[in-house]
Structure 1
């Protein structure tokens, strides 16, 4: 995962620095920076946790909590991009936004609660991989984590359906390129998040923790990369929106009506 993240960063370095230097400072740009560079800290913590001896339960517990906290924060930052985009697509419908946020925060609270409970009652076992003595939680803890992935798979599926409904309604008019980019990004991100959450749900039930954590961390990392890349793509598209009736300002992610 560290090599994958470094390779992606190297491939997009020119586009990223163009965006950072030329775009206006805003809360969306700050969110992008956090989403883009937080994986570096998360990967360092995970690598240290994987290779540190597991005899010290206090150290293992601290490292697991740090990794869990950074992973949840990274997931929230990436998800926030697309919650805002869904809000924009539905013409800033505040009722829809409150429903999405209420559902998301409820699921997030359950996830944090399960993570804290799992960390407190965690039992660490020797990894079945020869030569690896990192902090691995027992399979009994993994069995409870599938609930979080189940909830978020339902959440992502719901958002994907909402986006598809709006896309079908938008087929009646001639959409601008910016609108098409937003819809395609949302559907791709939600489908990917649903896929990862579903896979993690099954791996947490049927695989040992030393194997489950690979896909778990890969979900956080990949979705963060998707969010960062799509934000740069949207910013590039926004330079030439070619819309006759609306345009999107990335500084506040709201529609601004323009006279026809």
Structure 2
């Protein structure tokens, strides 16, 4: 009689986790749409009307990729009824790879900003790409391990979407790599900001480039620390 009780307890716990994840996914989509509405006019003026470049292409890809991988794929495999196991495997693989690719492209854009703040320093021209590869190659490898480890089973209720029965916990290492990378970027922004301030930098441009840049990286670093702790 003990085995059925354990099984029911496990299913109940899994359902609670699925509901929590579903709430977070819906909240993420709402925030995504809200952010898009707030910044659309600036995007039209500063991005769409600007000449085409590699950074502009990167921006557009990372800007609109979440509308597909989160707003469509993730919500569909979270809430759509009667999904096949094969569909769940494909859908989670697509959203996982698009997720890690989108974050990587976003980090490329932010890294280019750090490089520009350092006035295209020759040493950083070499060191930043190497640092990026050292931190991001493991992320892609660990995402592959995680996606291959995911197992799906029949959902206990018909409207639950994909029901994950097993997966590797390797993803916390991804957050660790992101934490290390953004700590490095934060340090570089702080050093450049202190140098600029000592040479008389106290203007609106200084505040936007350095103060906001440091605050953003500090926020990212804190978020990745929290995510790594929760995942672990």
Is TM-score (shorter-chain normalized) higher than 0.5? yes
Is the aligned partner of 1:79 residue 2:120? Answer: no
Could you say which structure has the larger radius of gyration?
Answer: 2
Cα distance in 2 for partners of 1:202, 1:65 equals 24
CA distance in 1, matches of 2:177, 2:47: 35
Q: Which has the bigger relative contact order, CA under 8 A and spacing at least 6?
A: 1
Q: 1:104 is matched with which residue?
A: 132
Greater displacement, 63-72 / 9-18: 9-18
* Partner SS state of residue 124, structure 1: strand
2:47 equivalent to 1:36: no
Distance 1:115 1:5 in 2: 23
- Does the CA contact (< 8 Å) of 1:126 and 1:134 recur in 2? no
Shift of 1:131: 7.4
Query: CA separation of 1:121/1:198 partners in 2, compared to 1, >3 Å: closer, same or farther?
Result: same
Aligned residues: 203
Partner residue in 1 for 2:141: 113
1:60 aligned residue: 88
Partner of 2:189: 163
Root mean square deviation of aligned Cα: 2.5
Measured after TM superposition, the shift of residue 110 of structure 1 is 1.0
Paired residue for 1:122?
150
Q: Name whichever structure is richer in helix by fraction.
A: 2
**C-alpha separation in 1, matches of 2:82 and 2:145:** 19
Shift of 1:139: 6.3
C-alpha distance 204-127 of structure 1, shift in aligned 2 (>3 A): farther
- Answer yes or no: is the 8 Å Cα contact 2:179–2:221 preserved in 1: yes
Normalising by structure 1, report the TM-score. Answer: 0.69
Matches within 5 A, 1:118-197: 118-124=146-152, 133-138=160-165, 140-141=167-168, 143-175=169-201, 176-197=203-224
The whole-number CA distance in structure 2 between the counterparts of 1:126 and 1:107 is 37
Say whether the 8 Å CA contact 1:146–1:204 is kept in structure 2. Answer: yes
8 A contact 1:54–1:124 mirrored in 2: no
Could you tell me whether the CA contact under 8 Å between 1:126 and 1:133 is conserved in 2?
no
Hey, what's the Cα distance between the residues in 2 that align with 1:198 and 1:190? Answer: 12
Q: Once the two structures are superposed, what CA deviation does each residue of 1:125-164 show, in whole Å capped at 9, x if it has no partner? A: 6789x876233545652x2111111111111112111211
Aligned to 2:53: 26
